[in-house]
Structure 1
Amino acid sequence: MGARFEELAWASTAMGEISLRRRVEPTLGVDVFEVKLGDEFLMSSLFTVAEVELARLGLAALPDPDGGGLDVVVGGLGLGYTARTVLEDARVGALVVVEALAEVVDWHERDLLPDTVGLAADPRARLVRGDFFAATATDDGYDPDAPGRRFHAVLVDIDHTPAHVLHPSHAAFYTVDGLRHLLRHLHPGGVFALWSDDPPDEAFLGVLRAVFGSVEAHVVTFANPLTRGESANTVYVAR
């Protein structure tokens, strides 16, 4: 541990001021890495269980690939825990991470986050600066080097919940029409998985069921060291 507080990176973006900071959590005596967008806390290295489970649950829903490896998209890079967990699965052949903010990509290219050092340098991974939601709505999709490329899994952790989005332009994605656009970018039998900060939402489950044949909502619980209680997120998995 170094100083009690350190701002590692800061930038003004179209979505507001974004910052990466490291602080010492006094109740635990550990370094915590946090991301803020404007006045909102987006993510913390104290709470990564559900980000990890997003990758594990999403990939667990896939059978082993026939020849080659799994092609995976992660929408939203953040602190990198979902992407890192994807790369821990030996079945994965290629990972494309779509991140709207070049500043976040830069954090990982500079290895500012100890838990995900080397993520950007992994030969299977490409960090693409782009609008995940805009890419979903196009025929070209997520890989600018291979327009129309399909994937076995698309794992998304960008907004707080389907109803609490970071930008109004994201809302259309969480509709039947929006998810039908996503379906075009999946191989037959492919998986869409989504992280949410709220309990399972029956309205959104209805949207998923209108598009996908198999839908599950997993409640992921984890110890909260700040409240000394238990917290929970939701991971939706649709195939």
Structure 2
Amino acid sequence: MTPRELVGVAEVPGGPPLRLFKRGADFMIVLDRNELMSTRMSGSEVALGTMTCDRLGGRAAPRLLIGGYGMGFTLRAVLGRLGPDAQVVVAELVPGIIEWARGPMAALTDGCLDDPRVTVDMGDVAEAIRSGSGSYDAILLDVDNGPDGLTRPANDGIYTARGLAAAKRALRPGGVLAVWSAGPDAAFARRLAQAGFAVDEVRVKARDNGKGASHVIWFASV
């Protein structure tokens, strides 16, 4: 087996560091012993982007907020679905993630961060949500590992009743809050409904070939 090579370490404000590994042509972002994301498993991250755009119904000049760049699969999926009048804000808390995207993973990034429709906001997506009243047609959250987070305790706030209320205020009429998770979470699904969202829970395969484990995406509409 090809050995795994450590490419870099990124500090996480208020949490343990992330490590980027490479094995052959594949990259992995790892927290302690947990593989958070990998170029081998992009299917659900792509689905987060494409299925959200499909739910917007082709509205003119949509404005989207993506929480967490990750490896950029969701961003590239969104850009591939949206027209030239769209605006996409990417909120990324960890500078090292963007440095990796522009450095060792530049070929994978394929220029998406330099797309004229994209603005990169280096900061907490929770703040972007709180300050964005009525600003977004869709908010896509792929933060931590979902509502049951691993990376940073402060991330849990965006999934609380208060955090969901802020997300609802940040959405335009008919907007969509899309939340990615590594697995189901009945308590979180109930909080979405209690916050006044119409909730559609979808299971999607982790791999783009339709194989492997299933992840969950909640599409919560206002």
Q: Same fold (TM over 0.5)?
A: yes
Counterpart-to-counterpart distance in 1, 2:164 and 2:217: 16
8 Å Cα contact 1:195/1:235 also seen in 2: yes
Counterpart-to-counterpart distance in 1, 2:174 and 2:200: 15
Deviation at 1:39, TM superposition (A): 3.5
Deviation at 1:223, TM superposition (A): 5.3
Deviation at 1:224, TM superposition (A): 9.4
Q: Secondary structure at the match of 1:123?
A: coil
Q: Secondary structure at the match of 1:59?
A: helix
- The residue number in structure 1 matching 2:35 is 41
Q: 1:126 aligns with which of 104, 114, 119?
A: 119
| Larger Rg over CA atoms | 1
Deviation at 1:183, TM superposition (A): 1.2
Deviation readout 1:177-231 (Å, 9 max, x if unpaired):
21011111111111000110113x2221111112234210001125599xxx631
Residue 37 of structure 1 aligns with an amino acid whose one-letter code is: L
Identity of aligned residues (%): 28
Q: Secondary structure at the match of 2:56?
A: coil
Q: 1:155 aligns with which of 131, 140, 144?
A: 140
- Runs of 5+ consecutive residues of structure 2 not aligned to the other structure: none
- The residue number in structure 2 matching 1:20 is 20
Q: Do residues 79 (structure 1) and 71 (structure 2) align? A: yes
Q: Secondary structure at the match of 1:230?
A: coil
8 Å Cα contact 2:203/2:217 also seen in 1: yes
Counterpart-to-counterpart distance in 2, 1:13 and 1:179: 23
Q: Do residues 233 (structure 1) and 218 (structure 2) align? A: no
- The residue number in structure 2 matching 1:144 is none
Normalized per residue, which structure has more helix?
2
Deviation at 1:93, TM superposition (A): 0.9
- The residue number in structure 2 matching 1:168 is 153
Q: With structure 2 as the length reference, what TM-score do the two structures score? A: 0.88
Q: Do residues 106 (structure 1) and 99 (structure 2) align? A: yes
- Runs of 5+ consecutive residues of structure 1 not aligned to the other structure: 25-30, 142-147
Greater relative contact order (Cα < 8 A, sep 6+)? 2
Q: State the number of aligned residues.
A: 217
